[in-house]
Structure 1
């Protein structure tokens, strides 16, 4: 009986002090959150370094510095920030545990990294005739205009529209259009397209394209 009373008494004391414990934990967590605002610059000329990736190690989250090298990120005291950028050495910064307040400003200096490429030897053609032959048979890649012209070719677009299946958006739009059409003519007979000149024009164009012939071949 005495053991039961002591157990109940400990539970009551725990319930009484539970709000204070939660409040203390919340206050401790709130004090450990740091808003870091900083700038990434070169170590030699103090120029802003844009596009620097700032990641919090072990957490899979981070940010990128803007065109002026400015960044902002929320971390916890004791976290380690990883700074990486193309052409610069990798840098790590550990947030001190004894920071005061919830905001911190920093300047991260990035040291340029020299990358040595393998040696490339450029040799001339053995003769002028061989150079002219290679230059005449050279395949020139398509420019943006030629790529756009090929992508908007009517025959190419018709082939894609004929053989590619519809995606989810087209299927939903087709279903909604049919549903709206059925609701529009609810309670009255639908119009007869045999007297519609636009329907006849679409039928003639489909006949010329061979749409009906393709359907007949598919049935066999």
Structure 2
């Protein structure tokens, strides 16, 4: 038991020393390969880990890594670069001057031609179709004629169908056992019929 109590602290201490020896302070500067100018805001990530840093305005960076880690340098407009921390590195500091090469992107050619005449430009400018903004779309959707068309063509939802069924059942139960009143002598019904006729509600849609 005494041997076991002594061996456990010794093994833990050896493991701690091994871990301490593997921790590296990785620092340096990132510059352009053609003009040796510092590159700010370069992303520096350790491959396989969700951990990294960025260069400052002078292109300087500093991050804690482990021996054998692979570090990736990426920046918009430059080709990505990988750097491997040596496993047999002596000490706990490692510096690097990383050069990035410009990543050339070729865009398709764009040909800009002037208008042949001033009159043609004015004609095309006047006839240009401008898409409706939110206010114009809302105004068209709330137009009375548009609402009538939508009311006739859009299907009813479940709530509307349920209300119509309940209202029809209530009316049928109310006049159960007797003849319901006829709206042919109702002036309000005739007025509504005339309005619907003038609107064209009874026209054949086909």
Give the TM-score normalised by the residue count of structure 2.
0.57
Task: State the partner residue of 2:86.
Answer: 96
Q: Aligned partners of 2:100, 2:35: CA distance in 1, in Å?
A: 10
Q: Aligned partners of 1:64, 1:87: CA distance in 2, in Å?
A: 16
Q: Aligned partners of 1:137, 1:23: CA distance in 2, in Å?
A: 83
Question: Which string of whole-angstrom CA distances, capped at 9 and with x for unpartnered residues, describes residues 113-158 of structure 1?
Answer: 11111222222224321324556789xxxxxxxxxxxxxxxxxxxx
Task: State the partner residue of 2:119.
Answer: 129
Residues 1:15 and 2:5 aligned together:
yes
Task: State the partner residue of 1:79.
Answer: 69
Q: Where do 5+ consecutive residues of structure 2 fail to align? A: 129-206
Residues 1:25 and 2:15 aligned together:
yes
Q: Aligned partners of 2:127, 2:25: CA distance in 1, in Å?
A: 61
Gap change, CA 1:132 and 1:104, over 3 Å in 2: same
Question: Which string of whole-angstrom CA distances, capped at 9 and with x for unpartnered residues, describes residues 149-204 of structure 1?
Answer: xxxxxxxxxxxxxxxxxxxxxxxxxxxxxxxxxxxxxxxxxxxxxxxxxxxxxxxx
Gap change, CA 1:24 and 1:127, over 3 Å in 2: same
Task: State the partner residue of 2:145.
Answer: none
Task: State the partner residue of 1:208.
Answer: none
Gap change, CA 1:83 and 1:129, over 3 Å in 2: same
- Structure with greater proportional helix content: 1
Q: Look up the SS of the partner of 2:14 in the other structure.
A: helix
Considering only CA atoms, is the larger Rg found in Structure 1 or Structure 2?
2
Question: Which string of whole-angstrom CA distances, capped at 9 and with x for unpartnered residues, describes residues 16-55 of structure 1?
Answer: 2110110000011011001111100111211111111000
Task: State the partner residue of 2:96.
Answer: 106
Gap change, CA 1:137 and 1:95, over 3 Å in 2: farther
Residues 1:118 and 2:108 aligned together:
yes
Displacement of 1:102: 1.2
Q: Which runs of 4+ in 1 moved over 6 A?
A: none
Q: Where do 5+ consecutive residues of structure 1 fail to align? A: 1-10, 139-220
Which runs of structure 2 are paired with 1:101-180 in the superposition (5 Å)?
101-133=91-123
Displacement of 1:104: 1.6
* From 17, 28, 42, the counterpart of 1:52: 42
